[in-house]
Structure 1
Amino acid sequence: MADDVICPCENESHGDLGPVADEENVARVIVSPNHFRKGSNALKPSAFPLSHIATSGLSLLRTDCMDSDQAHQLSCAIAGQMQNQTAVGLAKLSTSALRGLRDDEDVRMLCVVDDPVAESESMPANPGHAFAISSISRSDPEILAIQQAIYDLVNDIERFDDTG
């Protein structure tokens, strides 16, 4: 089983930090207060868009590779790229747990790949960017099941404000 813990797409480094290690923690930037259920820190599954899981990759921060101030600054910059959005927190996940998701045929559901972002006019450099993406082409119901599995794996929510 050790040989299939890392998919071939995850072995190739795309930046100075190298591939995302199985023991790393990652986080999804939560950019809309609407991603939280009213009056609680409970996320809605929509914080993990189906199209991102299926095709474009679910954007993540490698939180073990940055301090909390850097994570907050990057989150605000990411939210600033979206109309009427505010960074409100981080949904924290374990890379090994994401990679450990299996379907009914024991095929990995997700790959977690490093994807550093170069500095641009509107965004600071983000060497700790990564993404999670379906390991193979899947049906809509299968992607929906992956979304629910990711939602269930959130092990902590760090809110940037004091509400919740």
Structure 2
Amino acid sequence: MSHSEFGPVGDDETLIRVIISPIHINPKTSLPSPAAFASRDLMERGLSVLRRDYLNDRELKRQGQLLCKDRPERSMQGCMVGSARAVRALRDREDRKAFCVVDDEQPDQPMHATVMRSADQNELAIKELRGELMEIFGYQVAED
């Protein structure tokens, strides 16, 4: 069942994880840290992503600004970009599908989707899978 006018997330869709500084950034490397793909999010509520096909660069920047609203110490640092197909292809140690990607429209975010675990993986398994998930998404620094 789909929540937005865009329908279910297709395998060929590109997903964007907005990276917020300083909470998603390793201060030593200035690159995204595992906090950008928090285990707690993956285990409990899912990981928020945006569907690239349904937003232009201007809207992407606006979405990043909304995530930092009322938090002057935060800024959009960049994005990590991966395919729904690659996310859905990940398997856990028991060879179960690791993640689903679902359409999940939010207020002022009709292009929102959620990456959520597909099975009852424990925290250790999710931490292992998080590393694989991060490899799927490549990092792009935001341009002013």
Identify whether the pair has TM-score above 0.5, normalized to the shorter chain: yes
Please say if 1:61 is aligned against 2:50. Answer: yes
Would you say the 8 A contact 1:45–1:148 is kept in 2?
A: yes
4+ residue segments displaced more than 6 Å: none
Please say if 1:20 is aligned against 2:5. Answer: no
Query: Can you give the 5+ residue segments of structure 1 that lack an aligned partner in the other structure?
Result: 1-11, 119-124
Would you say the 8 A contact 2:25–2:33 is kept in 1?
A: yes
Structure of higher CA gyration radius:
1
- Secondary structure in 1 matching 2:68: helix
Tell me by how many angstroms 1:40 deviates.
Answer: 5.4
Please say if 1:142 is aligned against 2:125. Answer: yes
| Greater helix content | 1
2:106 corresponds to which residue? 117
- Deviation per CA, 1:10-36: give whole Å up to 9, x if none: xx1111000110000001111124533
Alignment size in residue pairs = 144
2:63 corresponds to which residue? 74
Q: TM-score, normalised by structure 2?
A: 0.90
Query: Can you give the 5+ residue segments of structure 2 that lack an aligned partner in the other structure?
Result: none
Would you say the 8 A contact 2:19–2:32 is kept in 1?
A: no
Q: TM-score, normalised by structure 1?
A: 0.79
CA–CA distance in structure 2, aligned partners of residues 81 and 106 of structure 1:
43
- Secondary structure in 2 matching 1:107: coil
Identity fraction in percent: 29
Please say if 1:36 is aligned against 2:30. Answer: no
Tell me by how many angstroms 1:38 deviates.
Answer: 4.8
Aligned-residue Cα RMSD (Å) equals 1.9
